[in-house]
Amino acid sequence: MSEQLLQPENDNRPARSRRLNRQDAAVTVRSDGQPRRARLRQKGFFATLDKPMLAAVLLLLAIGSLMVFSATFDWSNETYGTATGFFVQEHLRNVLAGCACMTFFAFVDYRTWKRFSFWLLLFTIVSLVAVAIFGEDRFGARRAFSAGRFQPSELAEFSIVVFLSAWLGSEKTRVRSFLFGLLPFMAVVAVIAYPIYQQPDLSSATIVILTAGFIFFVAGANMAHLAAVGGIAITTGLIVIERWPYAQQRIATFFAGLSDVTLIEYQTQQAITAFLRGGWFGVGPGQSQQKFGALPAPHTDSIFAVIGEEWGVLGASVVVALFIFFAFRGFRIARMARDSFGALLCVGFTSWVIIQALMNIAVMTGAMPSTGVPLPFISFGGSSLIVVMIGIGLMQSVHRMAVLPNPAEGQRSNLAHIDRSWRDRRPRLSRAGSRPSAVAG
């Protein structure tokens, strides 16, 4: 039988005794009307975290730190005179900063940031405009400030998740409406994606569009509207390919490589060579040969190929399995969330990480044309790693708020669930109050 938690009755004990009692006790009322005292243990910060997800993230960070060292020790030794020069030291600083940000955002109630979602989006738009005017030109693109340390496109991927989660998670939002749902959604995504596309950074623009589309789908969008958006996205993509010669070349090279592997793009050729050299069990840590000049950017975009060469198919499979486990835990936290905002945050950040991982791995294995997408948690990077870790912190905050006791709400539901009964045209993310309370024993 379920039991409803109530506050303990007033008594004549000293104030300090009553205050201590409220920290660990409550009265439960059974279905037969008989009261029974039950203990509510106060959970510490670490106890309320989703430890399996935390373990997966920390393991991916450890693998990333090891592989960044492996991919750069020769380069660093030649340039800085030490194997742990700029790259490893910078990466470890970014990891520590990311972990600090994750801890802070996990500690603070995620609902605090909902009120800042619009201002975050506005700051992102200003940053994207500023980088187009004042940014640094590198490799024919203008994408970053501060010697490549801050890329507004990475902040855009983060801010679109926060803003859409706040907006689509609101009770007042008419997600299925064409005028008040679809059109504003398309306008927001276009305002973010278009400046990124102009840099040009097609891969980041694609990530923004795919992540936003997935959030919109889960929030309960009309399927006809989604089909229309998909058609518009495909048409826009074809127009973009026609406008940018380098995009046409990558697409043409990709399709040519499907019939003749010798015609595939150079980076993909070298990545496949690395996997072939690695075999099932790899050539051993630090023993990769492809990283010495053959693989472009072995510490960022091509780091998965270095993993495949040094640790083999087995090691690469472990990395893939960790990302699959991360996705499982992320969507599980989304189902536990107390409100739609928290649920959509988890859905958005989980899909964002998995889309990046899929794109990076697909390029390295020749399954899609070459793009400049880093492997989350593993590739060397500053702003990319930190914004991902902030997202993990917000997801942990959602989990913390879901597992902390909330007796005041009684039997009223706090959970937001991904509704799988899509055929009856209901939202895929149910509103609070539609399910029985989880605060029941």
Note the pLDDT tens digit of each residue in 195-226: 888 877 788 888 999 999 999 999 888 888 88
Q: Where do the DSSP E strands lie in 168-229?
A: none
Q: At 35, give phi and psi (nearest 5°).
A: -75, 150
pLDDT of residue 33: 52
Most confident of 16-20, 216-220, 259-263, 431-435: 216-220
pLDDT of residue 121: 93
On the CB side of 391, how many CA atoms lie within 13 Å of its CA?
34
Q: Is the pLDDT of residue 63 over 80?
A: yes
Q: Please report, for residues 56, 114, 328, 386, the alpha-carbon distance to residue 52 in angstroms, rounded to integers and kept in the order given.
A: 6, 26, 10, 20
pLDDT of residue 105: 95
pLDDT of residue 7: 43
The CA angle 82-97-150, to the nearest 5 degrees, is 85
Q: Picking from 151-160, 176-185, 431-440, which range would have the lowest pLDDT averaged per residue?
A: 431-440
pLDDT of residue 181: 80
Contact 165, 348 (CB under 8 A): yes
Place of tokens 């539901």: 413
**Mean pLDDT, range 142-164, rounded to an integer:** 80
285-294: Cβ within 8 A, 24+ apart: 285/66, 285/70, 285/310, 285/311, 286/70, 286/73, 286/310, 288/70, 288/71, 291/70, 291/71, 291/74, 292/74, 294/270
d(CA 158, CA 191): 15
Q: Is the pLDDT of residue 231 over 70?
A: yes
pLDDT of residue 243: 72
d(CA 45, CA 105): 12
Contact 301, 374 (CB under 8 A): yes
Higher pLDDT, 204 or 346: 346
Q: At 376, give phi and psi (nearest 5°).
A: -55, 140
pLDDT of residue 389: 94
pLDDT of residue 166: 92
Helices H / strands E in the chain, number of each: 13, 5
Give the gyration radius of the chain's Cα atoms.
24
d(CA 99, CA 84): 21
Higher pLDDT, 20 or 197: 197
**Mean pLDDT, range 167-180, rounded to an integer:** 82
297: left (phi over 0), alpha (psi -120 to 50) or beta: left
pLDDT category, 139, cuts 50, 70, 90?
A: low
pLDDT of residue 37: 47
pLDDT category, 349, cuts 50, 70, 90?
A: very high
Q: Is the pLDDT of residue 17 over 60?
A: no
Q: Please report, for residues 93, 339, 386, 394, the alpha-carbon distance to residue 399 in angstroms, rounded to integers and kept in the order given.
A: 27, 11, 20, 9
Q: Where are the domains of the chain?
A: 4-42+405-424, 46-403
Strand partners, 138: 141
Note the pLDDT tens digit of each residue in 36-61: 544 445 678 888 899 999 999 999 99
Higher pLDDT, 255 or 62: 62
Note the pLDDT tens digit of each residue in 364-421: 887 777 777 889 999 987 778 999 999 999 999 999 999 887 644 433 444 454 444 4
Contact 204, 158 (CB under 8 A): no
Contact 394, 349 (CB under 8 A): yes
Give one DSSP letter per residue of 223-240, joined into a string.
HHHHHHHHHHHHHHHHHH
Q: Is the pLDDT of residue 26 over 90?
A: no
The per-residue pLDDT of the chain, averaged, comes to 78
pLDDT category, 170, cuts 50, 70, 90?
A: confident
Q: At 145, give phi and psi (nearest 5°).
A: -115, 170
pLDDT category, 262, cuts 50, 70, 90?
A: low
Residues ≥6 apart with Cβ < 8 Å to 321: none
d(CA 364, CA 298): 11
pLDDT category, 99, cuts 50, 70, 90?
A: very high
DSSP-derived letter for residue 179 is I
Q: How many residues are listed for the chain in this entry? A: 441
pLDDT of residue 34: 52
Higher pLDDT, 432 or 187: 187
Contact 8, 28 (CB under 8 A): no
pLDDT of residue 407: 46
Q: Is the pLDDT of residue 289 over 90?
A: no
Residues ≥6 apart with Cβ < 8 Å to 132: 142, 195, 198, 199
Q: Where does residue 171 rank: exposed (0-12), middle (13-18), buried (19+ CB within 10 A)?
A: exposed
Higher pLDDT, 108 or 249: 108
